[in-house]
Homo-oligomer: A and B are copies of this chain.
Amino acid sequence: MAAVALGFDTLRWERDGLVLLEQTLLPAEERYVRIPDVPSLVDAIVRLGVRGAPGVGCAGAYGMVVAVAGAADAGEWLRRLDDAEATLEAARPTAVNLAVGLRRLAARGRRLAAGDGGPAEWTADLLAEAKAFHAEDAALCQAIGEHGAALLPARCTVQTHCNAGALATGGIGTALGVVYAAHAAGKQVAVLADETRPLLQGARITAWELQRAGVPVTLQCDGAAGSAFQAGMIDAVVVGSDRVAANGDVANKVGTYPLAVLARRHGVPFYVAAPTTTVDLDCPDGASIPIEERGGDEVRAFAGAAAAPDGVMARNPAFDVTPAELVTALVTEAGVLESPDRAGLTAHCAAASSG
């Protein structure tokens, strides 16, 4: 497979420091900021300067290195390691990838500090561990992308929703990873991106990163997808997921389910691209997935401009659930699972963890 050249980095380690693409400035400005200390990283995570569970996980891993760098002695090194683990985990308690990354780096750090050498060597070894964590996330994205790209015709338009892109991960993304891998493989792939109200991740982030990577992208309002299906403009829907239940039901950004219903009506395949870590075999079905209900102000305003009467009631579920029967296939790093159900998912995830 050809390498994917995006033209931007979500995050990178550069000249002994962590550098993040400041996503709150997108799409107006592409600015990279250096993260000098743990409080700066907490701030970046809280205000969504870096976002997406895998992306935040990678940033957190590097943050552990930032924390210990320059410690004067073993005691200070270990104290900083412990403090950073607790402080960073509290910055985004729901993102499992962050906790996983922090725990792995902290465990490695404690093993290092129990052995030979001193703080400078331990820091260098810890950086190697963070880079490995980052590389593993990038490899997951690459594998998902390549498996998914094989499903797409040589010339196609992919409908997506929200941002399951490079800017949400340490690699080329999940849903957009499929697009980037197809693009790199020489397929003529264009993307129809829903703007994704209320937070407009599609307009702000997906459109930006595809444009930056040189993939043709057309933005539309969420309600306009129906007429695109009717016009035969859409060859496949590819979305990410926040959680896949054991029966194959898929939770993703609100507005995903209507796309799945439209795709079925129009005979268009509906693909979900996500790592196997997104599959929650302990969650029996979509009804068991808690759906975050967010504040109504996000609905009553648009990009900071008030759009509705003060105090009008608003419902603002952050996610919806697409039933498994509407999912053509789940694409993970382990391959393509058609018509996911409990038996298929159990076997697929077992294969991934032993692979």
Looking at the assembled complex, report how far the CB atom of A200 sits from the nearest CB atom of chain B, in whole angstroms.
5
Determine how close the nearest CB of chain B comes to the CB of A257; give it in whole angstroms. 4
Contact of A36 with B by CB under 8 A = no
- Beta-carbon contact of B194 and A223 below 8 Å: yes
Q: Does A75 contact B (CB under 8 A)?
A: no
Partner-contacting stretch, out of A52-60, A226-234, A330-338: A226-234
Q: A257-B230, A303-B305 are in contact. Are A221 and B197 (CB under 8 A)?
A: yes
Query: Which B residue's beta carbon lies closest to that of A286?
Result: B230
Is A203 a contact of B27 with CB atoms below 8 Å? no
- What residues on B are CB-neighbors of A226 within 8 Å? 254-255, 257-258, 261, 320
Residues from chain B with a CB closer than 8 A to the CB of A320 are 224, 226-227, 230
In the complex, what residues of B have CB within 8 A of residue A28's CB?
A: 306
Closest Cβ–Cβ distance, residue A247 to chain B (whole Å): 15
What chain B residues lie within 8 Å of A227 (beta carbons)?
Answer: 254, 257, 291, 317, 320-321
Give the contacting residue for A219; candidates B216, B261, B306, B312; CB below 8 A.
B312
Contact A218 to B313, CB < 8 A, known contacts A223-B258, A230-B320, A254-B227: yes
Pick from B200, B217, B310: contact of A307, CB below 8 A. B200
Stoichiometry, copies per complex: 2
Instruction: Knowing A299-B195, A308-B204, say if A221 contacts B316 (CB, 8 Å).
Output: yes
Q: Is the CB of B254 within 8 A of A265?
A: no
Residue in contact with A314 in the complex, picked from B220, B301, B302, CB distance below 8 Å: B220
Contact A218 B315 (CB under 8 A): yes
Check A208 for interface membership: any CB of B closer than 8 A.
yes
Q: How far is the CA of A227 from the CA of B304 in the complex (A)?
A: 25
- Across the interface, A317 reaches (CB within 8 A) one of B192, B195, B224, B312, namely B224
Docked complex: A184-234 residues within 8 A CB-CB of B = 192, 194-198, 200, 203-204, 207-208, 211, 216-228, 230
Q: Does A309 contact B (CB under 8 A)?
A: yes
Q: Is the CB of B197 within 8 A of A223?
A: yes
When the two chains form the complex, which single residue of B217, B254, B303 contacts A302, counting CB atoms closer than 8 Å? B303
- Bound complex: CA A258 to CA B260 (Å): 11
Q: Which residues of B sit under 8 angstroms from A183, Cβ to Cβ?
A: none
A262 within 8 A of partner (CB): yes
A313 to B228, CA, bound (A): 15
Q: Name A204's closest neighbour in chain B (CB-CB).
A: B307
- Tell me which of B228, B255, B262, B305 contacts A221 (CB under 8 A): B255
Q: Of B203, B230, B306, which one neighbours A300 at CB under 8 angstroms?
A: B203
A296 CB → nearest B CB, Å = 7
Q: How many angstroms between the C-alpha atoms of A258 and B223 in the bound complex?
A: 7
A232 vs chain B, min Cβ distance (A): 12
Residues of B within 8 A of A300 (CB): 203, 219
In the assembled complex, 13 residue pairs joining A and B whose CB atoms fall closer than 8 Å, in A order, are A194-B223, A197-B197, A197-B221, A200-B302, A211-B312, A221-B255, A222-B222, A223-B223, A223-B255, A224-B255, A226-B258, A261-B261, A303-B307
Chain A residues at the B interface, C-beta cutoff of 8 Å: 27-28, 161, 192, 194-198, 200, 203-204, 207-208, 211, 216-228, 230, 254-258, 261-262, 265, 291, 296, 299-310, 312-317, 320-321
What 5 A-B pairs are tightest by C-beta distance, nearest first?
A223-B255, A303-B305, A27-B309, A203-B308, A197-B221
